[in-house]
Amino acid sequence: MTQLGRILVIGATGHVGRHVVAQAVGAGVKVRVMVRDPGKALVPPGVDVVRGDLADPASMEASLLHVDAVFLMWPFLTGDGATEVLDVIKRHAARVVYLSAAGVDLDLDRQRNPIFEFHAALERAVTATGLEWVILRPYSFASNNLGWAARWRTGVVRAAGGAEVRSVIHEADIAAVAVRALLDDGLIGTRPELSGPEALTTEEQAVAIGEALGLPVRFEEIGQAEAREQAVAAGYPDDLVEALFDGAGTFAVQPVTSRVEEITGQAPRSIRQWALDHAEAFR
């Protein structure tokens, strides 16, 4: 294991980032987080909190002082500004671990949807830095199902793509791999594809969550147009809605991989365990 002085987590307030922080602290690593509003950052004791903004690369300098490795999540829907951000990181750190997505294909001139498009742009920018790099490619996040939580009390979940097969992964398992990537040399230059332990349809995920919580629901299939309207009504930004629904109908069955267990030594958590870990959101 590499003896790091400090790691910087960018995206520490997100579903994955907060687990990266907690698990790195638990491993005895010095952790710093970069956030736009330090006053709102909830982090474990001993974690440095420094103000910085990816939209303003010059503001990142202070957060990178004496940092050896960086966990990077990209919050924008284009790769604009990535080179400038990575230039700042390169002046200080030796390694960057980037959270991308399974489904990115760098052999394509154009990716299958805008989300893969910006991830592809970031992957190319990261690998061009000359830094040590690891690119994590998880399949669908189990945390996306938190969007059902507010409607769970009605006893009915209405969503599009009920038959789409996804190997959803718990955000804590993505974080566990990220921490290994930050600390260990064995993953340098790799793009591990990460999944949960099983592939389930959207409807099967809803059933599994309900069974785990003792709060069964009925699943109702809706069309893409209604699903888009739901996303807009829920307050999703217009550009995100367009990205989520651009390319609808081209969904491919997601495989189950063994990479989480190979890298961490622990089997990935099931959707049922994920539901128990987020039970309060659904009650």
If one counts the domains in the chain, the total is: 1
Q: Over the stretch 106-122, which tens digit does the pLDDT of each residue have? A: 999 998 888 999 999 99
Give the model's pLDDT for residue 137: 98
Neighbour tally for 99: CB within 10 Å: 26
CA distance 195 to 167: 5
Which segments within 4-100 are labelled E, that is strand?
7-10, 31-35, 48-51, 69-72, 95-99
Predicted pLDDT at 231: 73
Distance of CA 175 to the CA centre of its chain: 9
Q: For the chain, which ranges sit under pLDDT 50?
A: 1-2, 249
Does a structural domain hold residue 273? no
Cα 39 from Cα 263, distance rounded (Å):
35
Contact 197, 168 (CB under 8 A): no
Residue 250 lies in a domain: no
Q: Is residue 86 part of a domain?
A: yes
213 within a domain of the structure (yes/no): no
What is the Cβ-side half-sphere exposure of residue 86, based on CA atoms within 13 angstroms? 24
Would residue 109 count as lying in a domain?
Answer: yes
Q: What is the pLDDT of residue 112?
A: 82
Assess contact for 174 and 100: CB atoms under 8 A.
no
CATH code of the domain in which 18 resides: 3.40.50.720
Say if residues 75 and 11 touch (Cβ distance below 8 Å).
yes
Residue 49 amino acid letter: V
Residue that the structure tokens 């998880």 belong to: 138
pLDDT at 227: 76
pLDDT at 244: 66
Instruction: Kindly state whether residue 201 falls inside one of the protein's structural domains.
Output: no
Range of the domain at 129: 7-138+170-194+256-268
Q: Which two tokens stand for residue 163?
A: 């038959």
Task: Let me know if residue 160 belongs to a domain.
Answer: no
With the C-alpha atoms ordered 35, 233, 171, 250, is the resulting torsion angle positive or negative?
Answer: negative
pLDDT value of position 1: 39
Could you give phi then psi for residue 107, rounded to 5 degrees? Answer: -80, -10
